[in-house]
Amino acid sequence: MRAAVVVFPGSNCDRDLAVAFKAAGADVEMVWHKDSDLPQGIDIVGIPGGFSYGDYLRCGAIAAQSPIVKSVKAHAERGGYVMGICNGFQVLTETGLLPGALLRNAGLKYICKTVGLKVETSASDYTAGYNAGDVIDIPIAHHDGNYFADDETLKRLQGEDRVAFTYTDNPNGAQADIAGILSENRRVLGMMPHPERAADAGHGGTDGAALFRALSGALQTA
């Protein structure tokens, strides 16, 4: 598996994401936001958490217009894999690669804690390492994680089995308790919780490691 991790001014989880990819056996390249092209032969692009461009305007809105994101969109449109975590999820909704939007938390406060996530589907290369219905513990750290979409979009996501994760105890007001969703071809994942922060026992938990292992296994056999 060859992974690229995009780095924006304000990214703060880029190294964590790269370490999680490497632990799953990936070769990883860090890609600066002003680059116009992804490296050749990349299988998956990771868009990390943080505060790209200081979260000015809307979270992820400026990052979505950066030069490298044009290449990320082209990669996704060719059937390539893209994973956006926290701020990365916000970037993916701003680009239109995933539907909906991430609004201010219902409590109007930044939340940083470990939460329970229910795995809603195992039918994706990201979630194949879990069983549907599993509950895993994954950290969150966000101020704008309240997932919103219109009723038609929500019904489509649920009807097409594209809700990847839901919160067991909704911390931010997200509609339908949604914590992560998949694209129509199931190769783009956006999620607010941080699996890369739960991929090393020395950091308190390993429930996120299965996501990276499953993805690596799927790409190695593709």
Catalytic residues: 86, 194, 196
Cα 171 from Cα 188, distance rounded (Å): 24
**What is the torsional sign of CA 51, 59, 22, 136?**
positive
H or E element, residue 92: helix 87-95
Coil, helix or strand at residue 221: helix
Residue with tokens 């060859």: 2
Tokens of residue 175, six digits: 């509609």
DSSP state letters, 34-67: T-SSPPTT--EEEE--B-GGGG-SSTTTTGGGSH
169 CB-side CA count, 13 A: 8
- In the DSSP assignment, the letter for residue 79 is T
Amino acid letter, 104: R
